[in-house]
Chain A
């Protein structure tokens, strides 16, 4: 069966520090991978998606970047965190078209102080 691992679960970082969140998927090949951010009381916001190794699409301009070095690995990064980067970050995967059912990781609560 397929599983998705996302870590860490919580992270507290100072402003200006770098960020690296990692997500890996097991039990499936060539998944579509996504990074979402969820602010309190708001709907999920799609940050990046990837349909294959090295292929990254960005949905909103921001202080973050994403990379997909392996088929089932998706990384969210920042060189210098801002206060506004605080939020709940979710990794997700799907197979088939981009409109297919999403399966989410357990999320990372990032607090930038």
Chain B
């Protein structure tokens, strides 16, 4: 069964600190993996999209990694800011039908 699991479910860190969010998936055949940021009460916004051949991709202070062998991805946030408080969602696309399998997200809270 195609699944995407994220951890931790929630995370609280102090402003300025770094953090890493995890995503494990069982989607096959794999097409691409995406990370979205969703502010409370808003629609998700794309941060990165990685295909099978990409190991890492950055978007400002956000760096996503992908290990297609172990079917794991991580999102690293550097020097966190209060505006980083949001849910971060991992999404995997299946190559067979472009179906998107959505994780439940990690709720990140940045405290001053």
Interface footprint category on B: 20 to 34
Number of A-B contacts (CB under 8 A): 46
Over the window 27-59 of chain B, the binary record of Cβ atoms lying under 8 Å from chain A Cβ atoms (1 yes, 0 no) is 000011010000001111110010000000000
A90 and B43 contacting across the interface, CB-CB below 8 Å:
yes
A104 with B44, Cβ < 8 A, contacts A43-B102, A43-B105, A44-B102 known: yes
Secondary structure class of chain A's binding surface, majority of residues:
loop
Hey, which chain B residues are within 8 Å of A90, CB to CB? 43-44
From B4, B44, B49, B98, residue with most partner A Cβ within 10 Å: B44
Distance between A110 CB and nearest chain B CB, rounded to angstroms: 13
Task: List the interface of chain A (C-beta within 8 A of B).
Answer: 6, 41-46, 88, 90, 92, 97-99, 101-107, 109
